[in-house]
């Protein structure tokens, strides 16, 4: 559990919840990594509190002399860990009852399984714990490198609503992984800066190199969403672009054309030496990104594959383009006509060989199926929720 200037009561709330709601024989240790905090109460006062209130050896507090960022802090914690299975936490969380056993059960069955808890929500201003009653939440991403919550298709359910099920992406905390497997995979890319993008990079690496990510609905962990207590050197966008670009160059191959088509600045970045990460890819004989898109995240549209035409869709009479309004992450959303100056992430469409008019993640469909008026109004709908509408493309010569 790395922390930087975390308010002491929030940090201790996280620690106490783990101790109080974990079977003692399953809890080897809690490793706290102070990533160069400057708050007075996180210095000697925290050392004294741990010595006074916790059994000796249960809490391992280590400190970085200067701030190194979340990724480096986690890797230092891994180096100190003596347990068989690692579970990564943020410092502002609260575990629910029986959170631990479902994660350990899945990882113990298969060393290459990464088991992800279901995140509930804790309000930052009141600490109200809000139970996420949607067992179908999973995580996805788009070509613009935005990570988001989405849902499972019905064909991805298990026998019951609480059965573990695979997902294409992971959050940065609240997951369990065998320590030997984590090191076998190469750990985190420590050339990445601060944090941001490491969760997607590891998601791709797990799937492509023989492992799997499982959502475990019966493991519940609350998370406080709050403002970041620190700065990103050079700005957050610069840091995350750097991290994403390192991952893109190692894993995406020619599919990087879509990422760079949306954010050309990423392609020009100097991301340093990638040989270590490429060596891991070669050593583990990892699959190509085609496999991931076909088998793990088929919802993500490849603009120029199996299509009749693709690009912007313009109404020349008014010089406006169809625009998804950045509502890509909803099951159903409005579609707009806006000036043709947005990138492919908002104004990119493909007409597939099946006649489906697609954005990155959604299909253009009529609102209703009854009157002629219904047919003239359209929305964006998830392509997998229902049978997508079909469209014709007529080339008119003048």
- What residues contact residue 338 under an 8 Å CB cut-off, 6+ apart? 320, 321, 323, 325, 347
**Higher-confidence position of 332 and 156:** 156
* Residue 350 pLDDT class (50, 70, 90 cuts): very high
* Residue 75 pLDDT class (50, 70, 90 cuts): very high
**CA separation (Å) from 191 to 52, 277, 346, 363?**
38, 10, 31, 38
Residue ranges of the chain assigned to CATH 3.90.550.10: 2-224
* Residue 362 pLDDT class (50, 70, 90 cuts): confident
C-alpha 355/C-alpha 358 separation (Å) is 9
Does residue 385 surpass a pLDDT of 90?
Answer: no
Span 87-93, average pLDDT:
94
Helix, coil or strand: residue 31: strand
Span 84-107, average pLDDT:
96
- What residues contact residue 96 under an 8 Å CB cut-off, 6+ apart? 21, 120, 220, 221, 222
**CA separation (Å) from 181 to 86, 112, 236, 338, 397?**
10, 6, 30, 48, 60
Q: Which residue has the tokens 């403002």?
A: 227
Span 374-387, average pLDDT:
73
C-alpha 201/C-alpha 138 separation (Å) is 17
* Residue 333 pLDDT class (50, 70, 90 cuts): confident
C-alpha 302/C-alpha 293 separation (Å) is 9
% of the chain at pLDDT higher than 90: 52
pLDDT for position 227: 66
Q: Is 89 left (phi over 0), alpha (psi -120 to 50) or beta?
A: beta
pLDDT for position 331: 58
Q: Which residue has the tokens 């406080």?
A: 224
Helix, coil or strand: residue 327: coil
C-alpha 86/C-alpha 173 separation (Å) is 11
2-224 CATH, one of 3.10.20.30, 3.90.550.10, 3.20.20.10, 3.30.420.130:
3.90.550.10
pLDDT for position 104: 97
What's the mean pLDDT when you consider all of the chain?
87
Lowest mean pLDDT among 29-43, 145-159, 263-277, 284-298: 145-159
Helix, coil or strand: residue 170: coil
Span 64-73, average pLDDT:
88
Span 6-15, average pLDDT:
94
pLDDT for position 328: 57
Backbone angles phi, psi at 267, to 5 degrees: -65, -30
Does residue 381 surpass a pLDDT of 90?
Answer: no
% helix, strand, coil for the chain, step of 5 = 30, 25, 45
* Residue 10 pLDDT class (50, 70, 90 cuts): very high
* Residue 369 pLDDT class (50, 70, 90 cuts): low
Lowest mean pLDDT among 4-13, 24-33, 258-267: 258-267
- What residues contact residue 81 under an 8 Å CB cut-off, 6+ apart? 29, 31, 179
* Residue 326 pLDDT class (50, 70, 90 cuts): low
Lowest mean pLDDT among 103-112, 268-277, 285-294: 268-277
Tell me the range of 22-26, 334-338, 368-372 where mean pLDDT is highest: 22-26
* Residue 133 pLDDT class (50, 70, 90 cuts): confident
C-alpha 328/C-alpha 360 separation (Å) is 7
């Amino acid at each position: 559990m790395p922390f930087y200037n975390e308010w002491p009561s929030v940090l201790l709330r996280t620690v106490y919840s783990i101790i109080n709601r974990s079977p003692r024989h399953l809890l080897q240790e809690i490793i706290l990594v102070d990533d160069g905090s400057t708050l007075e109460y996180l210095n000697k006062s925290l050392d004294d509190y741990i010595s006074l209130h916790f059994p000796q050896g249960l809490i391992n507090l280590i400190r970085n002399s200067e701030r190194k960022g979340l990724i480096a802090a986690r890797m230092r914690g891994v180096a100190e860990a003596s347990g068989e299975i690692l579970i990564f936490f943020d410092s502002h969380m609260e575990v629910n009852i029986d959170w631990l056993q479902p994660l350990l059960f899945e990882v113990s069955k298969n060393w290459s399984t990464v088991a992800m808890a279901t995140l509930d929500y804790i309000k930052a201003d009141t600490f109200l714990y809000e139970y996420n009653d949607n067992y179908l939440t999973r995580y996805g991403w788009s070509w613009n490198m935005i990570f988001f919550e989405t849902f499972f298709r019905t064909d991805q359910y298990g026998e019951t609503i609480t059965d573990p099920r695979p997902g294409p992406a992971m959050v940065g905390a609240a997951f369990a992984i065998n320590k030997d497997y984590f090191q076998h995979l190469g750990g985190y890319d420590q050339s990445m800066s601060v944090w941001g993008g490491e969760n997607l990079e590891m998601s791709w690496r797990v799937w492509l190199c023989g492992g799997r990510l499982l959502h475990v609905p019966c493991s519940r962990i609350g998370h406080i969403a709050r403002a970041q207590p620190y700065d990103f050197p050079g700005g957050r966008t610069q840091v995350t672009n750097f991290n994403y670009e390192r991952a893109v160059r190692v894993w995406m191959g020619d599919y990087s054309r879509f990422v760079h088509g949306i954010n050309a600045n990423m392609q020009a970045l100097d991301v340093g030496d990638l040989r270590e990460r490429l060596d891991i890819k070669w050593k583990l004989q990892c699959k190509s990104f085609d496999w991931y898109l076909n088998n793990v995240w088929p919802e993500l549209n490849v603009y120029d594959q199996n299509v009749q035409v693709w690009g912007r869709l313009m109404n020349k009479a008014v010089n406006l383009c169809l625009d998804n309004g950045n509502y890509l992450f909803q099951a159903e959303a409005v579609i707009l006509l806006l000036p043709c100056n947005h990138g492919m992430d908002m104004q990119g469409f493909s007409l597939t060989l099946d006649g489906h008019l697609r954005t990155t993640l959604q299909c253009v469909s009529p609102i209703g199926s009854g009157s002629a008026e219904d047919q003239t109004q359209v929305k964006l709908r998830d392509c997998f929720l229902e049978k997508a509408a079909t469209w014709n493309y007529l080339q008119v010569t003048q």
